[in-house]
Amino acid sequence: MTNLRRCVVGAEERVGTRRLGPATYVNLDHAASTPPLQAALDALMEAVRWYANVHRGSGFKSRWTTQRFEAARERLVAFVHADAASQALVFVRNTTEAVNHIARRVPIPPGHVVIVTDMEHHSNDLPWRRVAPVVRVGVRPDGRVDEAELRDLLHRHAGRVAVLAASGASNVTGWVNPVHRWAAWAHAAGARIVVDAAQLAPHRPLDVRSASDPEHLDVLAFSGHKLYAPFGAGVLVAPRAILGAGDPAEVGGGTVDAVGRDHVVWAGLPDREEAGTPVILGAIALAAAVDAIETVGWPTIAAQECVLTERALAGLGNARGVTVYGGQDADTGRLGVIAFNVDSVPHGKAAAILGDEWGIGTRSGCFCAHPYVQALLGIDGPGARALADRVVAGEKRGLPGMVRASIGLSSTVEDIDRFVAGVGAIAGGEHDDYAEDAGGEWA
pLDDT band at 70 (very low <50, low <70, confident <90, very high): very high
- In a domain? residue 433: no
- The 8-class DSSP code of residue 397 comes to T
What's the confidence (pLDDT) of residue 56? 87
Q: Tell me, yes or no, whether 280 and 359 share the same domain.
A: no
Q: Is the pLDDT of residue 205 over 90?
A: yes
CB atoms within 10 A of CB 192: 22
Q: Which one, of 8, 2, 17, 6, lies nearest residue 359 by Cα?
A: 17
Q: Where among 294, 329, 361 does a domain terminate?
A: 294
134: helix, strand or coil: strand
Q: What's residue 327's pLDDT?
A: 74
226 and 333 inside one domain: no
> Is 312 inside a domain boundary?
yes
Q: Into how many domains does the chain fold?
A: 2
Together in a domain, 109 and 10: no
Same-domain check for residues 111 and 193: yes
Q: Is residue 343 part of a domain?
A: yes
Say how many CA atoms lie within 13 Å of 2 toward its Cβ.
Answer: 0
Residue at 439 is within a domain: no
Residues 298, 204 contacting (CB under 8 angstroms): yes
Domain range enclosing 412: 2-30+297-427
Question: Using one digit for the tens of pLDDT, what is the confidence trace for 121-156?
Answer: 999 999 999 999 999 999 999 999 999 999 999 999
Q: Which residues are catalytic?
A: 368
> How high is the pLDDT of residue 438?
86
What percent of the chain clears pLDDT 90, i.e. is strictly above it? 95
Residues 88 and 13 in one domain: no
CA distances from 175 to 105, 137, 209, 332 (A): 29, 16, 22, 9
Q: Would you state the pLDDT for residue 331? A: 66
d(CA 358, CA 346): 17
User: Which range has the worst mean pLDDT, 306-310, 366-370, 388-392?
Assistant: 388-392
Phi then psi for 125, rounded to 5 degrees? Answer: -130, -60
Residue 52: inside a domain: yes
Position 418 scores a pLDDT of 98
pLDDT of residue 3: 79
Q: Are residues 311 and 281 in the same domain?
A: no
The string over 430-440, giving b where at least 16 C-beta atoms fall within 10 Å of a residue's C-beta and e elsewhere, is ebeebebeeeb
Give the mean pLDDT of 318-330. 87
Of the residues 294, 317, 336, the one at which a domain ends: 294
Residue closest to 165 by CA, chosen among 106, 115, 100, 96 = 115
In the prediction, which pLDDT does 389 show? Answer: 92
- Which residue stretches of 277-396 are H helix? 280-296, 298-318, 347-358, 370-377, 381-392
Q: Give the contacts of 58 (CB within 8 A, at least 6 positions apart).
A: none
Shared domain for 280 and 382, answered yes or no, is no
Q: What does the pLDDT look like over 226-236, one tens digit per residue?
A: 999 999 999 99
Residue 193 lies in a domain: yes
In this structure, the answer to whether residues 306 and 326 fall within a common structural domain is: yes
Does 223 share its domain with 332? no
142 and 160 both lie in a single domain: yes
> Is 185 inside a domain boundary?
yes
Residue 4 — pLDDT band, cuts 50, 70, 90?
Answer: confident
Query: Helix or strand or coil: residue 431?
Result: coil
In a shared domain, residues 22 and 94:
no
- Tell me if 36 is assigned to some domain: no
Q: What is the mean predicted confidence (pLDDT) over 184-190?
A: 98
CATH number at residue 152: 3.40.640.10
**pLDDT of res. 1:** 67
Report whether pLDDT(225) > 80. Answer: yes
pLDDT for residue 270: 95
Q: What is the domain-level CATH number for residue 416? A: 3.90.1150.10
> Would you place residue 330 in the very low, low, confident or very high pLDDT band (cuts 50, 70, 90)?
low
92 and 6 share one domain: no
Give residue-wise pLDDT tens across range 383-412: 999 999 999 988 889 999 999 999 999 999
DSSP per-residue codes, 196-237: E-TTTTTTS------TTSTT--SEEEEEGGGTT--SS-EEEE
Which whole-number Å values give the CA distances from 428 to 319, 343, 393, 422, 431, in the listed order?
9, 10, 34, 10, 9
CA distance 185 to 187: 6
Per-residue pLDDT band at 196 (split at 50, 70, 90): very high
pLDDT at 332: 62
Contact 42, 288 (CB under 8 A): yes
Phi, psi of 15 (to 5 degrees): -135, 165
What pTM does this model have? 0.96
Q: Report the pLDDT value the prediction gives residue 365, as an integer from 0 to 100.
A: 96
What's the chain's average pLDDT? 96
